Amino acid sequence: VDHASNGSTRDDTIDFVGKTILAPMVRTSTLPMRLLSLRLGADIVYTEEIIDYKLIRCQRVVNHLLGTVDYIDDNAVVVFRTCPQESSRLVLQLGTNDSQRALRAAQMVVRDVAAIDVNMGCPKAFSVKGGMGSALLTQPDKVVDILQTLVRGVAKPITCKIRVLPSLEDTIRLVRRIESAGVRALAVHGRTQSERPKDPNRNDYIRAIAAAVDIPVIGNGGSDEIQTYADIERFRQRTGCSSVMIARSAQKNCSIFADREGLLAMDDVIRQYLELCVDYDNHVMNTKYVIQQMLGPLQETPRGRELLAAQTLRTICRLWELNHYCDQTRIKRELTSKTSIENQNI
Ligand code: FNR
């Protein structure tokens, strides 16, 4: 792996065989969750879906103080933050309905990621009304146009993530066309656009898709069946997939990626997560949201309610006895910042 001076990694050897993968999740799959998942055993991590036109409006800024690369919009919002520790295993997921815009967005970020994914599975009204997400599943010509444009114009692997169609035959026809566009791997969530998490995942569809194409298929939608590390391999076998992608079970406790008997205790995971939030100055509202997902019904406890009321990262840290860690990290950062300003003045 060759670390370039700009912090990017020039290693495009990522492959999607035999991997366990953190799924793209809006608000959840941001930098601290990705780094923690990698630390605990995930092989590959996806970003949350990032809409192409939002990315195109951003400036790329190297943040020396944090050791990150930030994509920042006109309102100073960090749309995407990454760091060299993850770049060889990071897939950025784009939301798009236009091949040229997708290409511009992909070219902007390509040096900071290992691969680019296109989201063709999102059933949310925002995506579907905008012609993105699962709206693409019924427009195979557009799908091929977007993927082919990316494959030809981007120097890193392109992948895509779909939901299944109600008919298996239609789904197989679609994935054959996706394969012909030159993508490196295909993630399949075994539910249709209108099916909800409580509906069973169509593992038999995933199995048929995996048998019908030559590229690696990444099975997804198994969180109800994946409660332990060992369940990941069982799901892989059930679906006949190359790799497994996990969303909800990882959101609840990302030590699901760790090859161990049981999960780590929730408070242990939260503390490790919070330290990374401090290290990378993660936004307080994003931090709060992700911890709320980990707490689940425990949000009703006194500590859960204090979390809900918290307005600063330090307040959240105090709830898990990490206020000193928060203070120390900030003091160190301030000292580093002062030193570098003084050096600039010499
Ligand atoms: C998602 N999902 C999702 N999918 C996607 O392609 N891009 C995204 O940004 C999101 N965002 C998102 C947020 C949250 C909070 C959840 C729970 C899910 C769908 C997700 O990646 C996955 O396909 C499904 O959750 C099914 O997998 P699991 O949960 O059974 O492992």
Task: Compute the residue count for the chain.
Answer: 346
Structure ipTM: 0.99
Residue of 83, 122, 254, 317 marked catalytic: 122
d(CA 340, CA 346): 10
Beta-strand pair 44-51/90-95: parallel
Which protein residue has the closest C-alpha to ligand 1 atom 3? 25
Q: State the pLDDT confidence band at 346, using cuts at 50, 70 and 90.
A: low
Which protein residue has the closest C-alpha to ligand 1 atom 13? 25
Q: State the pLDDT confidence band at 232, using cuts at 50, 70 and 90.
A: very high
Token pair of 342, please? 């003084």
Among 175, 199, 189, smallest CA distance to 245 is for 189
Closest atom, ligand 1, to C-alpha of 220: 27
Ligand 1 pocket check for 289: Cβ under 6 Å: no
Express each pLDDT in 162-216 by its tens digit. Answer: 999 999 999 999 999 999 999 999 999 999 999 999 999 999 999 999 999 999 9
Express each pLDDT in 289-312 by its tens digit. Answer: 999 999 999 999 999 999 999 999
Given a contact cutoff of 8 angstroms between Cβ atoms, the answer to whether 108 and 55 are in contact is yes
User: Is pLDDT above 60 for 32?
Assistant: yes
Q: Kindly state the average pLDDT of the residues 269-280.
A: 98
Class in CATH terms, 20-257: alpha beta
241 is catalytic: no
Looking at the chain, the whole-number percentage of residues with pLDDT higher than 90 is: 88
Among 203, 204, 240, smallest CA distance to 222 is for 203
**What is the DSSP annotation of 65-90?**
TTTEEEEE-TT--EEEEE-HHHHTTE
CATH 3.20.20.70 residue window(s) in the chain? 20-257
User: Is pLDDT above 80 for 3?
Assistant: no
Q: State the pLDDT confidence band at 277, using cuts at 50, 70 and 90.
A: very high
Token pair of 194, please? 């209108």
Which protein residue has the closest C-alpha to ligand 1 atom 27? 221
Express each pLDDT in 117-151 by its tens digit. Answer: 999 988 888 888 888 888 899 899 999 999 999 99
Residue whose entry in the numeric block shows the structure tokens 């206020």: 323
* 68-72: strand order across its sheet: 59-63, 68-72, 78-82
Given a contact cutoff of 8 angstroms between Cβ atoms, the answer to whether 319 and 277 are in contact is no
- pLDDT at position 64, please? 95
Q: State the pLDDT confidence band at 12, using cuts at 50, 70 and 90.
A: low
- pLDDT at position 6, please? 39
Mean pLDDT of the chain: 94
User: Who has greater pLDDT, 13 or 103?
Assistant: 103
Q: What is the pTM of this model?
A: 0.95
Ligand 1 pocket check for 217: Cβ under 6 Å: no
